[in-house]
């Protein structure tokens, strides 16, 4: 794969940066969200006050906005990169596998984006309902029976594929 064009290099850079913010934000949101619950359950920790839960949901809501924007930018720049680089999937099996992974999990991400958008709109509204916010957060965490966790590991597999580039014909 050669990057002859400045525009292609820009699309690659923008794709990598938006992917970095998307995956990094997802990790950050997960760490914050799981601190609200008892280990290995979706029961809210008893020592948390109403104010601390509300503040945590505000932080999660802010991060969610950035994650949504970064994911949309990632998909746009990924598509632009594929079309501008004219990459040969037969020569670059690793890139083909990465593209298949992103395509398989796109419906999962769209479903989760719907929940995330509802959550972000709720949290950023005046006087948001804490119970509704927790309900949406629990719905997001428990959605699709662990498929989001599998997709998360698959995305990190694509990073490994991009670094080591298996199935690449020279």
Read off the pLDDT of residues 26-55 as tens digits, 9 standing for 90 and up: 999 999 999 999 998 889 999 999 999 999
Rounded to two decimals, the pTM is 0.91
Rounded distance between C-alpha atoms, residue 55 and residue 170, angstroms: 53
In tens, the pLDDT along 3-33 reads 778 999 999 999 999 999 999 999 999 999 9
In tens, the pLDDT along 90-120 reads 999 999 999 999 999 999 999 999 999 999 9
Task: Please name which of 109, 110, 131 lies closest in space to residue 50, comparing C-alpha atoms.
Answer: 131
pLDDT of residue 4: 75
pLDDT of residue 99: 96
The SS3 of residue 102 is helix
Residues in the chain: 170
Residues 6+ apart with CB under 8 A from 36: 44, 45, 48, 53, 56, 134, 137
65 in Cβ contact with 120 (< 8 Å) = yes
In tens, the pLDDT along 124-159 reads 988 889 999 999 999 999 888 888 889 989 999 999
């Amino acid at each position: 794969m050669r990057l002859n064009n400045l525009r292609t290099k820009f699309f690659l850079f923008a794709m990598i940066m938006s992917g970095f913010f998307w995956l990094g934000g997802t990790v950050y949101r997960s760490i914050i969200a799981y601190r609200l619950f008892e280990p290995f359950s979706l029961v809210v920790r008893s020592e948390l006050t109403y104010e601390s839960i509300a503040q945590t949901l505000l932080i999660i809501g802010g991060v969610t906005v950035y994650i949504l924007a970064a994911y949309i930018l990632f998909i746009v720049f990924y598509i632009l990169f594929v079309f501008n680089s004219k990459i040969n999937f037969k020569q670059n099996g690793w890139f083909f596998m990465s593209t298949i992974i992103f395509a398989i999990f796109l419906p999962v991400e769209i479903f989760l984006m719907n929940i995330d958008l509802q959550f972000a709109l709720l949290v950023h509204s005046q006087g948001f309902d804490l119970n509704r916010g927790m309900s949406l957060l629990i719905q997001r965490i428990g959605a699709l029976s662990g498929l989001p966790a599998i997709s998360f590991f698959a995305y990190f597999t694509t990073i490994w594929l991009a670094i080591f580039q298996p199935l690449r014909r020279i």
